[in-house]
Structures are given as structure tokens and as C-alpha cells.
Amino acid sequence: MFEKVLVALDFSAYSQNILDCISRIPGIQEVVLVHVVDATHASKLGWTHGPHIENARIVMAEKKEALEHLGLRVHISVEVIVNVITQGTVPLAILEAAETNNISLIVMGARGINPVQELLLGSVSSSVIRNAKTSVLILHFPSVPGSGTASVCPGDRTLFSTVLVPTDFSISADAAFSFVKTMPGITEVILIHVVTRAESQQEIEATVQDARTRLGEQKKDLEALGIQATIHVRVGDATEMILSVAEEDNIPLIAMSAAGNDWFHNLMIGSTTYTVVRRARRPVLVIRTGLEHDTA
């Protein structure tokens, strides 16, 4: 499932929190640590980028040693972009590293060093989730470590123990649900469907009932596997309802298909999924199954 994971580090406080959570990913065996040095612009301190590159290698070696103490196999990669025209961008370097190393999951922080905090999602993370060919786990942290905020990985609870799974019943959402069923470490799944449009009260009621029936079938599938399941049907804005249930039930992880019945396919990720990733206060797993542009 997620045996080989790529972790993109920018050495911010958020990056350290990511490393603190890595061992909570069930089934993980191998980690590829990637740090990208953007040498396409002059150093802010007026130096060459040599010291930055050398320091990055030293820091990455320290991170590697810490993860190896947890029993993980670790490889490090310090990628240097010298020419943006010939070598691309930071997100492209991360995506190329993921493809080269046959990665099953990319793990990133929601913000990193991006100063535009109100966007709630750094530009690098945003670009990676839009264009990745594999699943991406975005870890959100309420505040920078050291502020007294509890870790998102408390105690011995695995990150994937309880998962909120939104569905619009599209082909890609069904594929994501099938993917979730095979994820190790899951003990409980909360299923949610949001009715976002209807012409009349009668149509709303009929759609809600149909959704309950379909979620009920998925619940039976999960319970047959020994996984506890709860269903929610909401009416309103999809993003608002998903985030509301996540907060109400204190869900440690939201898992969503990379696309669904959205028309926003030109971004290579469904608009609801992207908005949830951007606004969530907890980790979000964006699942790619190869059906990102299929609909029911």
C-alpha cells in the first residue's frame, strides 16, 4: 500500500512535524527524503548557493539517522535547480523524484515557508497535489510547533485509524472507497455524502434517501471486513459539510478521491477535493486511482 513514501522537506517547523508523524503511516517501510534547492535566483544573503546546498546535505543526514532509529530504510536526495528553463521548478523536482523512485505516497506539509498564510496551502504543495500521479498526504498543523499546540499524531494512534471518506458516488469516488477498504490500520470509517443541488423539497428528500441507501451498502461492505462504519448525509455546500463533520467527530484523517463529478477537471483535481485540502485543519489524503477524469 504505502510501503515507499517520499517526504518533501523545506526545513520549516512544519517539516519537522511531518517527520514526527511518518512512523504512524501503517505499512511504511522505506522513506525517500527530498529537499530542493532553488538556485535559479541569487541568494538572499548575497552568498553563492554552495553553503545552502552543503547545509541541506548535513541536515538531511541528521533526519535520515533519526528515521533509521525508527526501523525505516531511508534514502536522501538534495535536488538542485540551477536553471528554471532546463530543470523546471521545485514542485516538478519533487514529482520527478517520486516517479524515479517508484513512490507509493507523497507526504507534504500544508504551508511550509510560504508567507501567504491566509491561503492555508503553500504553492509547492498546491502544485504537487494538482499534478501528482500517485496519492498525496497533506499534513495540516494548527500552529507552528513550540506554541503549545498538541501534535496531530498523539499517543500510539495511527494516522489512518479513523478516516472520513466523502463520496459523490462517481466512478472515481467508488474507486477511492475500494482503495480505502484495503488500507492497513483502519478501524473505523465515517462515510459522508452531501446533497448539493435539487429543484424541490421533494427532490431533496428523495436524493437524501437514495444516498442513505447507497451509503448503507458501503457500510455493510466495511463491516464485513471488521471495520466499524458510520454514515452521514448532509444538504448544502459540500466543502462546508465535510469540514463540519470532520471537526464534530474529531476525525484524524480525511481521505478523498482526486476528482469526482466536478467540471473543474482542467486543474487535474476535483474542486471540492482541492478546497477541502486547502481549508482543512487536519490531514487530508488525496487518493489517485487512475480514474481521476471518470464520472458516474
Q: What is the pLDDT of residues 127-164, one digit of tens each?
A: 888 889 999 998 876 544 444 444 556 444 567 889 99
Q: 39, 82 in Cβ contact below 8 A?
A: yes
Q: 104: which 3 cell numbers?
A: 507509493
List pLDDT tens digits, range 101-128: 899 999 988 764 444 443 446 678 888 8
Q: 57-66, 82-91, 135-144: lowest mean pLDDT where?
A: 82-91
Query: Do 162-287 and 4-139 fall under one CATH topology?
Result: yes
Least confident of 28-42, 82-96, 119-133, 137-151: 137-151
Homologous superfamily assigned to 4-139: HUPs (3.40.50.620)
Read off the pLDDT band of 19 (50, 70, 90): confident
CATH topology of domain 162-287: Rossmann fold (3.40.50)
Quick: pLDDT tens for 156-202: 456 788 999 999 998 889 999 999 999 888 999 999 999 988 778 89
Q: What is the pTM of this model?
A: 0.83
User: What DSSP element (H or E) covers 285?
Assistant: strand 284-287
> What contacts 206, CB < 8 A, 6 or more positions away?
none
CA distance 198 to 202: 9
Residue 159 has a pLDDT of 73
| b/e per residue 191-202 (b: at least 16 CB within 10 A) | bbbbbbeeeeee
- Return all residues near 175 (Cβ < 8 A) that are at least 6 apart: 257, 289, 290, 291
pLDDT at residue 52 above 60? yes
Q: Where are the domains of the chain?
A: 4-139, 162-287
